[in-house]
Amino acid sequence: KAGVTQTPRYLIKTRGQQVTLSCSPISGHRSVSWYQQTPGQGLQFLFEYFSETQRNKGNFPGRFSGRQFSNSRSEMNVSTLELGDSALYLCASSHEGANVLTFGAGSRLTVL
């Protein structure tokens, strides 16, 4: 069974630009979460979507947004990029109510 797929795997942007990252969850998983990983900061929760609705949100500015489609695929968008947005962005999916998340390989964003 296919895992969580994230695209693109690597991208480079400049300050002020915007970026969209995509995540295809495991078939049948309706919950999709996004995390940001930076050196020394661990995995910081961005938001979680379930059935096209944002159900939980972390402590990130409004420049970070996301959405989920009817097929459970999700996208996250970061507008007006800052140098500090350089990070690995991880998407994870799970069944409703499941404690265990299955992560994708991540999208490595570098902001110059």
Partner 1 sequence: DQQVKQNSPSLSVQEGRISILNCDYTNSMFDYFLWYKKYPAEGPTFLISISSIKDKNEDGRFTVFLNKSAKHLSLHIVPSQPGDSAVYFCAASRPGGSYIPTFGRGTSLIVHP
Measure the CA–CA gap between 74 and 42, rounded to whole angstroms: 22
Asked if 101 touches partner 1 (CB under 8 A), the answer is yes
Q: Judge residue 112's burial from the number of C-beta atoms within 10 Å of its C-beta, 0-12 exposed, 13-18 middle, 19 or more buried.
A: exposed
Answer for the pair 101, 93: CB distance below 8 angstroms, yes or no. Answer: yes
From 22, 67, 73, 103, residue interacting with partner 1 (rule: CB under 8 A): 103
Asked if 90 touches partner 1 (CB under 8 A), the answer is yes
- Would you say 37 or 79 has its CB closer to partner 1? 37
From 24, 72, 104, 111, residue interacting with partner 1 (rule: CB under 8 A): 104
From 28, 70, 84, 100, residue interacting with partner 1 (rule: CB under 8 A): 100
Answer for the pair 8, 104: CB distance below 8 angstroms, yes or no. Answer: no
Q: Which residue has the tokens 């420049």?
A: 63
Measure the CA–CA gap between 33 and 50, rounded to whole angstroms: 9
List the interface residues with partner 1, window 21-50 (CB under 8 A). Answer: 31, 33, 35, 40-45, 48, 50
Could you list the residues that contact partner 1 (CB under 8 A)? 4, 31, 33, 35, 40-45, 48, 50, 55-56, 90, 92, 94, 97-106
